[in-house]
Amino acid sequence: MLPTSLPLLPTPIRFGTDGWRGILGVDITLERFLVVAAAAAEELAYRAPKYCKSKTIIIGYDRRFLAREFAEVVAAAVSACELDPLLSETVVPTPACSWSVVQRKALGALVVTASHNPPHWLGLKIKGPFGGSVEGDFTKAVELRLSTGVVRHPSVVKIKSFDCRQEHLDGLKKKFDISRLAQGLEAMNLKVIVDPMHGSAAGCISDLFQDKGSDLIEEIRNSRDPLFGGYPPEPLAPYLNDLTKKVEAFKHSGEKVLGLVFDGDGDRIAAVDETGKFCSTQLLMPLLIDHLARVKNLSGSIIKTVSGSDLMRFVGEGLSREVFEMPVGFKYIASTMLSSNVLIGGEESGGIGFGIHLPERDALFAALLVLEAIVEGGQPLGERIQALQREYGGSSEFDRIDLKLENMNKKNKIETFLKENPPSEVAGKKVKEVTRVDGLKLRFGNSYWLMFRFSGTEPLLRIYCEAPTPTEVQEVLVWAKEFVLSL
């Protein structure tokens, strides 16, 4: 729900795992946005690889309040840096900007979005010339530029625009046989319900299937609502009541259905299977690994974040693929995708990238690949996932809670305590292994673990758990929450 109170003072400009975000009107103002956009543009130009002779920077924006107006400010800031801003004509999923960067051989992209954050937030994502998020050393350099206090005044010039959204959709059409997918879904009598959560991916799947089985696709919550119904546009089960009810209604009528969910800026995906069960990337990734490695016989390793399900590893290793575990944050996956042959890389929170596409999360590409996997297997999503679990083992039960802490001092105190005193027993279960790839992960057995991970920019603790049963998941999460609050 929307907060009852807001902070009165802005926080310092600091970049998180993917961009700079904050509360509109408090952390995010036109003046601050102007200097951040200029610093980011100058850093893109400074770091331009030798092969990149372009001065173009793609500019996109989502459906949030004032996003278009802030995008025009970004364009003015880019122009002031003696670079060429190219503004999307309309609201666009963030991955579309990355796609256009690669297709047009541009310097990079600046996207006005707060992604999956609450409605009162706004932010800026920076994409490099390779078509993915820039790394931490880049954003630290931007912060250093900001610390100099040098401000470029925006230029009053006519900004060029283009149809970034359609450019991306045309690219996806070339990578998938949409007619075959439509025929396959029709043969299975499987209807697809798309929930873009009022975000910028609205209408994209319907447009892709236009004239090729549009009666198979139904979209809900596809109108623009800057308040996103009062909830964060994040593909998590508590925010998907409308979709779940819709799937349940079809289930009771005897029809097969699949629900697909996209976050606010269209780079994260989740699903609801034919039984009404929520399927995050903890379950979608294993399906896609199987499809790409076994069915399509494509080469490459598999990257999962430390919060990813064990089922990802079991399927990958079962198909003789190397599986690497990394910290949370897609930038770590993207960096590896640029330097080695990666089949697929994904994170628990919904972001998936593919070696055959972009070093970037693209929920529309992932959605089409999910449909392709389902059509190829001739089984709805839930049945396919259960088949994978029977073959490779692994739990399907996972949940996470985001715990707001009093302040940053409290967060730092708890973080230090856990680092120095990791629990040896959790809810009566002995800890067999401690991992510190990112935060603190305590393992009790296969597909049975608890993980604490603190935000670097706000007093927030994310607590993750995978376990054999839903009851055990909740037992561990309740224990973890009570343990933390007692410190």
318-371 confidence digits (pLDDT tens):
999 999 999 988 888 988 999 999 999 999 888 999 999 999 999 999 999 999
Residue ranges of domains in the chain: 20-169, 176-392, 397-485
| pLDDT exceeds cutoff 60 at 169 | yes
Helices (H) and strands (E) in the chain, counts: 15, 22
How much is the average pLDDT of 423-437? 95
CA distance 37 to 30: 10
Inter-axis angle of helices 136-147 and 30-46, nearest 10: 120
Query: Cα–Cα distance between 242 and 354 in angstroms, integer?
Result: 30
- Helix or strand or coil: residue 90? coil
Classify residue 295 by its DSSP letter: I
Residue 197 predicted with pLDDT over 70:
yes
Which CATH code for domain 397-485? 3.30.310.50
Q: How far apart are CA 19 and CA 81, in angstroms?
A: 20
Assign 40 to helix, strand or coil. helix
Confidence of residue 4 (pLDDT cuts 50, 70, 90): very low
Mean pLDDT of 217-227: 96
Query: How do beta strands 448-454 and 121-127 pair?
Result: unpaired
CATH: 3.40.50.460, 3.40.50.300, 3.40.120.10, 3.20.20.80. Which one for 176-392?
3.40.120.10
DSSP assignment, residue 133? B
Task: Name the average pLDDT for the chain.
Answer: 93
| H or E element at residue 31 | helix 30-46
Instruction: With residue 217 as reference, give the H or E element that holds it.
Output: strand 217-219
Q: What's the one-letter identity of residue 185?
A: L
Q: Is the pLDDT of residue 414 over 70?
A: yes
Please tell me the distance from the alpha carbon of residue 244 to that of residue 275, in angstroms, as a whole number: 9
Q: Sort strands 217-219 and 190-195 into parallel, antiparallel or unpaired.
A: parallel
Residues 175-181 have a mean pLDDT of 96
Q: Return the pLDDT at 251.
A: 81
pLDDT-derived band at 148 (thresholds 50, 70, 90) equals confident
Tell me if 176-392 shares its fold with 397-485: no
445 pLDDT exceeds 80?
A: yes
For the residues 139-162, what does the mean pLDDT come to? 85
Percent share of the chain, pLDDT over 70:
96
Q: Is the pLDDT of residue 23 over 70?
A: yes
CA gap 51, 162 in Å, rounded:
24
Comparing C-alpha atoms, which of 429, 409, 412 is closest to residue 480?
429
308 CB-contact burial (10 Å; exposed 0-12 / middle 13-18 / buried 19+): buried
pTM score, two decimals? 0.93
Can you tell me the mean pLDDT for 65-78? 96
Residue 59: beta bridge partners?
A: 87, 110
What is the spatial distance between Cα 155 and Cα 149, in angstroms, rounded to a whole number?
A: 19
Q: Inter-axis angle of helices 363-377 and 281-290, to 10 degrees?
A: 60
Distant-in-sequence contacts of 135-139, Cβ < 8 A, 24+ apart: 135/331, 135/335, 136/15, 136/331, 138/43, 138/47, 139/15, 139/20
Q: What is the percent of the chain where pLDDT is above 90? A: 84
Residue range 20-169 forms a domain whose CATH class is alpha beta
DSSP letters for 227-294: TGGGS-----GGG-HHHHHHHHHHHHHT-EEEEEEE-TTS--EEEE-TTS-EE-HHHHHHHHHHIIII
d(CA 42, CA 145): 9
For residue 235, name the pLDDT band (cuts at 50, 70, 90).
Answer: very high
For 284, phi then psi, to 5°, come to -70, -40
**In Å, how far are 376, 399, 401, 407, 487 from 404, measured between CA atoms?**
43, 17, 10, 9, 14
Band of the pLDDT at 123, cuts 50, 70, 90? Answer: very high
